Amino acid sequence: LSLHDALPISTSTTMASFNGKQYLVGGNWKCNGTKESTAALVATLNGAGVIPAWVEVAVGVPSIHIASVIGTLRKDISVAAQDCSATGNGAYTGELSAAMLADFGVKWVILGHSERRVNQGETSALVATKTKQALDAGLSVMVCVGESLAEREAGRVNAVVLDDHMAALKGKFSDSEWARIAIAYEPVWAIGTGVTASPEQAQEVHASIRGWLSKNVSPAIAKATRIQYGGSMKGANAAGLLSKPDIDGGLIGGASLKAEFITGVCQNAPEPK
């Protein structure tokens, strides 16, 4: 099984191999943007130049802006939601179902971001339930995992990332569903802090996540799954991170609100060998 198989011929023939994958670069606009500033950001991204064929791009848009952004954003960038409901449609006041997102043309949803785990108390079990809802609605999912500074300093990186965040996904999805899941490794201490994990630090955890997938899902899924890095990723450090063997993309917050998202991150993604 390979994501390569799902790509249009015209795209796949321009790619070398990269294990048959494209990098996945996600933007995360978080809770930012007026009508005016969002239109300006769309115009900036639309004018930022060519995205290499080996980079798939999606931006996580605040839900109230999704309908307008989907209509105006360049078509080689897809739109992601930043959350979805754990339930379907019905008597769930204030919720936004995955089916509604899919109906509006949303392709991806970011789930389990550490800001939601911390601020909304989202558990790994809830993230797994939301992931299933999203997949059932036809969406693809970036599942965020990652440890806090205190957890890293206590030597608990694998305990948190593998035995809690990843473990909740075990046994829940078919192979064809796993083909629509990406894992975003986002060490909490690197998010919004300007402190980026070094390429070596990130690579170490990415390799552990791929090892977990190989053991707990299958070697084929482990090979095909894109594992993104997130946490103060920007133009200046993208190439170093993306050159590591198990870093298959990024999830970018602050720098996704600027042209740099395209000109610094996407255009600096090294051509797959």
x/- site string to ligand PGA, residues 109 to 148, per CB under 6 A? ----------------------------------------
* Closest CB 194 distance from ligand PGA, rounded Å: 8
> b/e map of 112-143 (b: 16 or more CB within 10 Å)?
bbbbbbeeeebebebbbbbbbbbbebebbbbb
Single out the residue of 21, 22, 24, 28 in contact with ligand PGA (rule: CB under 6 A).
Answer: 28
Single out the residue of 112, 146, 187, 253 in contact with ligand PGA (rule: CB under 6 A).
Answer: 253
Residue with Cβ nearer ligand PGA (213 or 265):
265
* Closest CB 38 distance from ligand PGA, rounded Å: 17
Residue with Cβ nearer ligand PGA (99 or 257):
257
* Closest CB 83 distance from ligand PGA, rounded Å: 13
In this structure, are residues 181 and 226 in contact, taking their beta carbons and an 8 Å threshold? no
Residue with Cβ nearer ligand PGA (181 or 191):
191
Number of residues that bind ligand PGA (CB under 6 A): 13
* Closest CB 112 distance from ligand PGA, rounded Å: 11
Is 252 near ligand PGA (CB under 6 A)? Answer: yes
Q: Residue 262 and residue 143: Cα distance in Å, rounded?
A: 22
> b/e map of 160-178 (b: 16 or more CB within 10 Å)?
bbbebbbebbeeebeeebb
- 255-259: which pairs have CB atoms within 8 A and are 24 or more residues apart? 256/26, 256/27, 256/28, 256/29, 256/59, 256/60, 257/27, 257/29, 257/32, 257/41, 258/44, 259/44, 259/45, 259/47, 259/48
Sites for ligand PGA among residues 178-197 (CB under 6 A): 186, 191-192
Residue with Cβ nearer ligand PGA (230 or 272):
230
Cα torsion through 83, 87, 92, 98, rounded to 10: 50
Sites for ligand PGA among residues 215-244 (CB under 6 A): 230-233
Q: Residue 118 and residue 121: Cα distance in Å, rounded?
A: 5
Q: Which residues are catalytic?
A: 113, 186
Residues in contact with ligand PGA by CB under 6 A are: 28, 186, 191-192, 230-233, 251-255
